[in-house]
Amino acid sequence: SAQKLTVCNVCVSVVTILSRSHADRNVYPSAGVLFVHVLEREHFKGEFPPYPKSGDASNDPITFNTNLMGFPDRPGWLRYIQRTSHSDGVLYGSPTSEHVGKATVIEITAYNRRTFETARHNLVINIMATEEFPLPYQAEFYIKNMNVEEMLASEVLGDFLGAVKNVWQPERLNAINITSALDRGGRVPLPINNLKEGVYVMVGADVPFSSCLREVESPHNQLRCSQEMEPVISCDKKFRAQFHIDWCKISLVDVNKVAPVYIPRPDPGTGILPEFGEYNPPSESLKSRDYFSDFLVTLAVPAAVALVLLFILGYTMCCRREGVEKRNMQTPDIQLVHHSSIQKSTKELRSMSKNREISWPLSTLPVFNPVSGEVVPPIHPDNYETTSMPLMQTQAPRHARLPGILTPPSIKFKAAPF
């Protein structure tokens, strides 16, 4: 059906189907023409019980689910949008010639989010074929300051088609399709400054494109678009008051010059498989397989190698030890004495660390009294006097050595008179 839209005192013939939601409604859109069907919440409010208190305004949150009868989703050409549960839903799309003559039944289920009740209506879409549509010259505009549900409103769409008619001057003009920028790979805008997601609007006409629309193809404007600058379009001011168009994303298509692409389909054939001969199943008697060799390779060989390495390591660590006595026999006596003194000093320091209030360490006491000259040897916990051991001494014969540390002869010191 056609509607007369008056925009800027210009009568524009818009072949866009707009219908309202009714139970089991039959609609007859044309192929190649934008189809819009509004699911009004007011129509479905009567299907649900009223509020408990009389006089309260019913503002139930209602959402819709739409699907092709017998299938979980809608046809590919039909889209649905509902921004919030307190706004109306909209079915929109552009059927193609492939769907002509096929009755499409859409099941519409309304959900009341307050009472959890549902109501179901059917929408029967009968797509008609016409010789006038689709129109040969098609232009797609990208409008940056609109959302798809705002553009689907009949008044806004009529204003846009009126502006396009003033620029293009065709005899016939219709909206072919509307697509949200989010469906074309766009990003969700930030919730600041009232940003919009953007919408693509495709329109068709019966005359070639005007010079204004061709201006975007000039080398100067192409250069500006490559530099992310706005092109200079003489007719942009006719849209700027209400619609902000991105002229770098405009698409102009002449259907008559587009070569159709035919994809060859394979021959379906008769459905009978070709002859492959007689089927010979495998024999029922299968030979047993011996896995003993596989076991040896995977388990026995690594285990044998591990045992050999373990034996070599055990022999090296346990049977090749020389012992403390042999080590002491091969070590010079003076080195053993120094080592023993270091051990005793370490033991003394550790005992000091347990109690901080003990006297000065014995190693810091003087060997003799500097006034009287009396020898005062340090007292050690054991009877071994390391202070009387000379730093150098004559090595005793090997056979006279004892396994332990030899006690050297004591050396007496006498203080010289002052």
Tell me what pLDDT residue 90 has.
93
Asked which of 132, 165, 197 is the last residue of a domain, the reply is: 132
Same domain? 141 vs 242: yes
Reported pTM: 0.56
Same domain? 123 vs 21: yes
Measure the CA–CA gap between 303 and 369, rounded to whole angstroms: 73
More confident residue, 383 or 374: 374
Of 230, 109, 108, 210, residue with least CA distance to 164 = 210
Question: Considering the domain boundaries, does residue 370 fall inside one?
Answer: no
Domain that holds residue 106: 16-48+59-132
Tell me what pLDDT residue 312 has.
92
The winner for highest mean pLDDT among 70-79, 250-259, 283-292 is 70-79
Report pLDDT digits (tens) over 185-237.
Answer: 888 887 777 788 899 999 999 899 999 899 988 999 999 999 989 999 988 88
In contact, 134 and 195? CB cutoff 8 Å: no
| Lowest-pLDDT choice from 50-59, 107-116, 318-327 | 50-59
Same domain? 69 vs 87: yes
Question: Considering the domain boundaries, does residue 54 fall inside one?
Answer: no
**CATH number for the domain that contains residue 222:** 3.30.70
The b/e string for 205-231 (b: 16+ C-beta within 10 A; e otherwise) is: beeebbebbebbeeeebeebbeeeeeb
Same domain? 35 vs 128: yes
Same domain? 43 vs 116: yes
Same domain? 91 vs 147: no
Asked which of 202, 231, 258 is the last residue of a domain, the reply is: 258
* 107 confidence band (pLDDT: 50, 70, 90): very high
Question: Considering the domain boundaries, does residue 327 fall inside one?
Answer: no
Percent of the chain with pLDDT over 90: 26
Q: What are phi and psi of 223, to 5 degrees?
A: -65, -40
Measure the CA–CA gap between 29 and 104, rounded to whole angstroms: 11
Report pLDDT digits (tens) over 19-76.
Answer: 434 457 888 888 888 999 999 888 887 778 776 555 555 678 899 999 999 899 999 8
What is the average pLDDT value for the chain, to the nearest integer? Answer: 77
Question: Considering the domain boundaries, does residue 250 fall inside one?
Answer: yes
Tell me what pLDDT residue 4 has.
36
**CATH number for the domain that contains residue 82:** 2.60.40.10
More confident residue, 370 or 143: 143
Measure the CA–CA gap between 250 and 239, rounded to whole angstroms: 14
Same domain? 20 vs 127: yes
Structural domain total, the chain: 2
Tell me what pLDDT residue 238 has.
87
Percent of the chain with pLDDT over 70: 75
Q: Kindly calculate the radius of gyration of the chain based on its CA atoms and give it in whole angstroms.
A: 51
Same domain? 125 vs 26: yes
Asked which of 258, 285, 305 is the last residue of a domain, the reply is: 258
Same domain? 79 vs 176: no
Question: Considering the domain boundaries, does residue 188 fall inside one?
Answer: yes
Question: Considering the domain boundaries, does residue 220 fall inside one?
Answer: yes
Question: Considering the domain boundaries, does residue 274 fall inside one?
Answer: no
Same domain? 139 vs 224: yes
Question: Considering the domain boundaries, does residue 305 fall inside one?
Answer: no
Same domain? 71 vs 20: yes
| Lowest-pLDDT choice from 243-252, 351-360, 398-407 | 398-407
